[in-house]
Chain A
Amino acid sequence: MITIAVPELRRYAPDALRMVGIPIGQADEVADMLVWTQAVTGAAVKFVQDNRARLNWRPQPRPRVVDENADEVVVDLRGGSLLEFGPRVFDFVQAETAAHGSRRVRARAVYGGIFLPYLVARAAERGVHLDVSFPETPQGDFEPRGELTIEATRVPATPGALQTDAYRSAVDRGIELSDADFTTVIGLFEMLRVPTSERSRTHAG
């Protein structure tokens, strides 16, 4: 096991995520989710490693609203994950809730339920209470192409909902990572670096 500091993982995460297909414009918010999840519930880095090929699947999926009525909105993630689209889906839920007071959103063809605790706490900080249901397999894993149901209600914001004891403890003491997870993070992070040349050195500064 290796202890990695929270800001250290946060520093590595955006670049590492770029190498599994997360665009530069989303890398920071996804990094926040990855680090919190690793610190509080664990297994976030393993999720990236386990799904590396799937995350790099091209063309990449893009979420689309496929149905909406007075009762609910249906978003099709087309096989994408909550790592890639969780904050976007949940921000959409927040916007819908602001407009309607409460809202049900069904997100279909999605995986990556390990990020739900973060997304629920994040929504609480922003004044949205969520009841979420996501099917689990008999092995306790989430469905690889499951349907996530979100019941959202406007409530007073809960500042600091993400600052749980577990997270603060991780900030103070660091996060224990397996050697394999640490290697994954560092390996992906360094993949974003560009090979050097004499010409590139002339552009150094």
Chain B
Amino acid sequence: MTTTKATIPVPESVFAVLSEEFGSRLRRAVPLMRHPDDVMSPSVLRGMAASKLSFAQTLVRRMTEGKWRIELVHCELSEDGTGFLAYDIQAEGLQLSFGVFVYPPLPPGHTRMFRDTKLEFLGILLEGPIDVARFRRERDEADTNLWRGRTDPKVYGWTIASRGTRMFDDVVAALVRGEQPTVEQIDANGGYILRNGGFYGNGRMGTRAWRSYARGGGPLAMPYHIDLFCVYLWRLVSLDLVEATARMHSPSATVLRPSVRRHVGIGNSSGLGTVAALVRWPSRLASFILPRELGFAYTAAQTADAASTRRLADLVGNARDAYRNAPEAAPELIEPRESVATALDRVHKALVAADPGEETWARFLEDAEDYGSVEAAEVLRSLLLEVYPETYELSRITEAFTPGPEFALKVDPEMSVGELRAILREQFAWCVDADLESPGKREFFWYRSEENGENRRGERSVDVGIERETVIDVAGAVRRLADFLDAYDAGTSIGRFLLDEPEHTLAVARAQFAATTPYSEIRASVCDADFLASNTIRCFLAILGIELPTPHSGRWVRGLFYRDAPLPADLVAGREGAWGVGAPAAADQPRDEPAMGV
């Protein structure tokens, strides 16, 4: 059900970064934007789907359009499986290098945790050409001090990965035997050979600050592109390493078929830290969600003609099949895959039977919300973006505003208490009017553990550390702000109010920001006993570009990056190809054409 409220305010500066023609067409679609109360609710966040505006997808598009060149130059392996690989990278005039140290494998079945101090793979992304001595120096620093290590701005970041499953050994064994793993075998084992363990850059350990290279609009200027570029590199490492390891065991070992190489993704597991990040930075959240919602509004305003209807039907049909083959999770954590697939099937049938004409997509989308699956409706909206590739331009909003002052939180001290009260009524009714007093309503507090700063939740009535809670309890803070504002005259300036009550500064800044920029606040109390972190984690993973994320528990969500995404030879050829839930299943695709090879 969609909330009917006033037109959503869109900052005027948003249109300034878009082309004039697209911007003017987009303006006309603004009245079709969904209200933040609808978009930012847990049920919609849980069903949010990756789209061509997600970061992994925008990175692949950029790499393909810019014909990035990524070449394995060094590969030295020892009998015990340890070794070193180095890649040379040419990205639109920027030269980078990626050095990888392979450590002894962790015991089979060991799932590397965030708090673990043992490494299986360490990668270093360096400015300039391959510098083996420098890579070794970085490795030594990591070996000695790990996350307390120090480096300098020549280094973009350190990144880690792990095996996680037996897939690595199984693929090596198959290649030694001269056999190929099949797409089905890869899928049955998670779809990956290596798991991403995270990227540590943007100043961490003294690495280069992201703003220093984002400022000029270079190839890695988009938020998260550098992180996801390293994830992409791990995918290449996994493919190159299994082949090199097989060759070491047997000179006659075969290599992976191009179709298999392309199908392999990179595993990823995300936890509470992603929730903390989304709640902590409302301006970033808005800069991620606003372009999506603008895109959805734009597509809803387009005419559903015959060609676009056929195209969307193909995409939806493929997505339905992808859902039918996707890993399942506990029903309390996700909509059952079959329910989503059934709803997508209804959408597909409706599209096939549609009589294209003068109607816009708005009506069709409204009908689709009644097909019994929130997630299916979200998938449909995401796929519709692919029918109108001009919407890809919307990613400029994220690139332009994430580092800039336009989307920064700051207090407007000239506003009156009365005006702020009105904002709270309009934007924060979900917490100001909510029951935050009953047992369980403020059960949790969030903190960082001594163990590598891992984000954890504690129970207020039981656990120590309440005075050191980290994540802003938005619902609690805004409610308290409303309570305190009650004691002031409506005409009092916020500057005067905050001189008296400075602890409310952040709550005021968030509220004022929400009034001018939609989609900055999740409509859920993270401290509530019923708060299901996996809903918000899935939202974050969709923003990053993971398709079909699968909760392992209420606090962990697994997924794959880059399944079926182009390989370096495709990038150089400027050919992205079809990938994602809207693409035909890999097993059905005619692959292994030479151009897809590496």
Q: Which residues does A use to contact B, with CB under 8 Å?
A: 2-11, 15, 18, 23-29, 62-65, 75, 84-85, 87-89, 91-96, 98-99, 159, 171-174, 190, 192-196, 199-201, 203-205
Contacts and interface: CB of A to CB of B under 8 A. Distances in A.
Interface residues on B, range: 35 or more
Contacts of B203: 4-11
27 contacts: A5-B206, A24-B506, A25-B503, A25-B504, A26-B503, A26-B506, A29-B505, A63-B502, A85-B499, A87-B505, A88-B498, A92-B498, A92-B499, A95-B413, A95-B496, A173-B153, A174-B206, A193-B450, A194-B447, A194-B448, A194-B449, A195-B450, A200-B463, A203-B456, A204-B115, A205-B553, A205-B554
Nearest to A125: B405
B272 interface: yes
A27 B507 CA distance: 12
Contact of B209 (A27, A85, A171, A190): A171
Given A7-B202, A15-B470, A193-B448, A85 B502 contact: yes
Contacts of A172: 153, 209, 212
B555 interface: yes
Given A193-B448, A194-B458, A204-B115, 18 more contacts: A7-B202, A29-B505, A29-B509, A64-B500, A92-B495, A95-B414, A95-B493, A96-B495, A159-B405, A192-B448, A193-B447, A194-B447, A195-B450, A196-B450, A200-B458, A204-B114, A205-B272, A205-B533
A193 B456 CA distance: 10
Interface of B: 113-115, 150, 152-153, 202-212, 215, 271-272, 405, 409-411, 413-414, 447-451, 453-458, 463-465, 468-470, 472, 477, 493-496, 498-500, 502-507, 509, 533, 553-556
Closest 8 CB pairs of A and B: A205-B555, A95-B495, A5-B203, A194-B465, A7-B203, A8-B203, A91-B413, A205-B271
B499 A88 contact: yes
Given A25-B506, A171-B209, A194-B458, A205 B556 contact: yes
Nearest to A169: B212
B153 A174 contact: yes
Nearest to B210: A7
Nearest to A162: B405
Q: Is the interface of A mostly helix, strand, loop or mixed?
A: helix
Nearest to B501: A62
Contacts of A99: 493
A25 B450 contact: no
A126 B462 CA distance: 45
Contacts of B498: 88, 91-92
A193 B209 CA distance: 25
A196 B150 contact: no
A163 B317 CA distance: 51
Contacts of A94: 413-414, 495
A84 B503 CA distance: 10
A109 to B, nearest CB: 14
B449 A196 contact: yes
Best-buried of B113, B449, B477, B509 by chain A (most CB within 10 Å): B449
Contacts of A190: 450
A203 B145 CA distance: 27
Given A88-B499, A203-B458, A24 B271 contact: no
Nearest to A172: B212
B153 A204 contact: no
Contacts of B469: 24
A192 to B, nearest CB: 5
A22 to B, nearest CB: 10
Nearest to B281: A28
Given A194-B449, A205-B455, A88 B206 contact: no
Most chain A beta carbons < 10 A, residue from B472, B496, B502, B507: B502
A158 to B, nearest CB: 12
Nearest to B150: A2
A8 B465 contact: no
A70 to B, nearest CB: 17
A98 B495 CA distance: 11
B499 A192 contact: no
